[in-house]
Structure 1
């Protein structure tokens, strides 16, 4: 459903006429007009990237699903990962390219425009998928609104339908979710073949938000491994 807070945020995004800079997660990034600005929520994913048990290891392949400004793609590349970043918004693609250039990690990040998993090659596999998805389920008028509204939960359904095909054995997903959305649309309903665990929590503007570590269920991992061997 439409959300007043979300609509107010969209109005602010539409008023932007020039690129501007923000500092987040220890780095500066530029935000282009018509692009959703990186928020404090992204820092929860950065904390997951640094976790000694399940975080990024040098040489990991990472998919940044819905990259926006490219903030998470840059953070993953700075930690030694090779990244594919996708977004349906052409303005976001240009913004992500600029931020990769600013941090001298363009050689480690491939940025592609397209819907869902369509920009991916059939042979691509990833150790980690990072996903900061739109807030709520509602109709979106354009690519700007698609940064905050996910009609029919299109992005979520594509992610959980296809993740097993693109994740390496023992691959994992880092995903953020707000408590008020979890109460209405539990994340677990989108994929029954996964194990969901809250690994980070932060109150942002009075509302609890979570970072989930999502792993394929053990039986799925065993089946995938035997298929590939």
Structure 2
């Protein structure tokens, strides 16, 4: 995993997703060198870059042009600029135009999470994986409900991480925002979702 401090960051763009969370997301995503990964709401490019180290192809989306720019800079910094397709715009429009893929990672949805999950599900290959990260309680509920509508079985993990900060007297543990990781695998017993 790339340390958090090795990412270029700007205050206008969230991220990168913290190192420990990236590690868990990569475990849930089970990305192989044959996989095509779509990263929705790429932000600073933390999950895009980690996916690039594992996947055959990565497509990173964000509607914020500054996010696309900072993701590009982080990819270039780590030597991955040519292998990644960066696309600025509405995720629903972009996903609709894509061919099938193996992994859908959603870090930001602009309020369209249920539709992104439904559209992503339709494009997922057999045994394709969806992984969603959430800091908002409402997003967690939306993700679980949307996956269940697609007849997927959500795996829900809430992660609370504290990092040690050295002080004169000792090590003080500093809490980070709790993150929920919701993931599921496409089961072809149920080829379409329930409306």
The CA RMSD over aligned residues, in Å, is 2.8
Give the drift of 1:82: 1.1
Which of residues 114, 130, 135 in structure 2 aligns to 1:173? Answer: 130
Does residue 117 (structure 1) correspond to residue 117 (structure 2)? The answer is: no
Which 4+ runs in 1 deviate beyond 4 A?
none
Partner of 1:96: 71
Match in the other structure for 1:62? 37
- The equivalences for 1:3-152 within 5 A come to 23-24=3-4, 28-40=6-18, 43-50=20-27, 55-120=30-95, 122-133=97-108, 150=110
2-structure distance, mates of 1:74, 1:104: 10
CA distances 1:82-119 after superposition (whole Å, capped 9, x unpaired):
10000000011111111111111112210010012323
State the distance in 1 between where 2:98 and 2:143 align: 28
- Alpha-carbon shift at residue 160 of structure 1 (Å): 1.9
1:148-194 Cα distance to aligned partner (Å, 9 max, x none): xx4xx32x0221220122211110111123474468x3532234112
The correspondence for 2:146, drawn from 190, 205, 221, is 190
Unaligned runs of 5+ in 2: 162-174
SS at match of 1:117: helix
Q: Tell me if structure 2 keeps the 8 A contact 1:65–1:129.
A: yes
Gap runs ≥5 in structure 1: 1-21, 135-149, 225-229
Q: 3-state SS of the aligned residue for 1:188?
A: helix
Q: Is 1:159 aligned with 2:116? A: yes
Question: Hey, what's the Cα distance between the residues in 2 that align with 1:173 and 1:43?
Answer: 19
Decide whether aligned partners of structure 1 residues 45 and 181 sit closer, same or farther in structure 2, where only a CA change above 3 A counts: farther
Distance in 2 (CA, whole Å) between partners of 1:206 and 1:110 is 31
Normalised to the residue count of structure 2, the TM-score between the two structures is: 0.76
8 Å Cα contact 2:126/2:188 also seen in 1: no
Q: Report how many residues are paired.
A: 177
Structure 1 length-normalised TM: 0.66
Q: Helix, strand or coil: the match of 2:85?
A: strand
